[in-house]
Amino acid sequence: MITKIFLSLLLVFTIVSGMSCTTSPSDDRDLMACVNILRQIETAKRTMAMGHSLENGELLTPEQVESLSTFMTGGKWSAHQCPSGGRYTVGRIGQPPSCSIHGNSKDIHIYY
Ligand SMILES: [Zn+2]
């Protein structure tokens, strides 16, 4: 009896965990594109922090956020949109930027 319950719980767990791992190839492409943009934002923030002597924890002004794109490929924010429609939060200096759908680049692990 206990074994039967355990096995059915195990089966449910296996099905649920199997479903959560199922992503379509286009989801994977969107995630990878988003992570690439998040990394560019992070690098642009570091470059700006060095150029403006900004300390960790400082907030960027709206003008500084706007000009971050000049350090990114394409040079415009319009060239850096999350393919899934997520919104980016640049965040403070020293903290990772994040996407409203995909999270931040530190929490996203891509396995090839
Ligand atoms: Zn995203």
112 found inside a domain: no
Centre of ligand 1 to C-alpha 60, Å, is 21
Report yes or no on 9 lying in a domain: no
- The answer to whether position 8 is within a domain reads no
Comparing CA positions, the residue from 38, 54, 35 lying closest to residue 46 is: 54
Predicted local distance difference test score (pLDDT) of residue 96? 94
Interval 77-99: pLDDT, tens: 988 999 999 999 999 999 999 99
pLDDT of residue 15: 46
Spatial distance between the Cα atoms of 81 and 61, rounded to a whole number of angstroms = 20
Examine residue 14 and state whether it is found in any structural domain, yes or no.
no
Instruction: Answer yes or no: are the C-beta atoms of 51 and 11 closer than 8 Å.
Output: no
* Residue ranges making up the domain that contains 47: 24-104
Total number of domains in the chain: 1
What is residue 5's predicted lDDT score, i.e. its pLDDT? 54
Residues with CB under 5 A from ligand 1 (ion): 34, 82, 86, 99, 101-102
How much distance in Å is there from the Cα of 10 to the middle of ligand 1? Answer: 33
Burial 39-53 (b: 16+ CB within 10 A, else e): ebbbebbeebbeeee
pLDDT in tens, 8-44: 555 454 444 445 556 788 888 999 999 999 999 999 9
Distance between Cα 87 and ligand 1 center (Å) = 7
Query: Could you tell me if residue 37 is inside a domain?
Result: yes
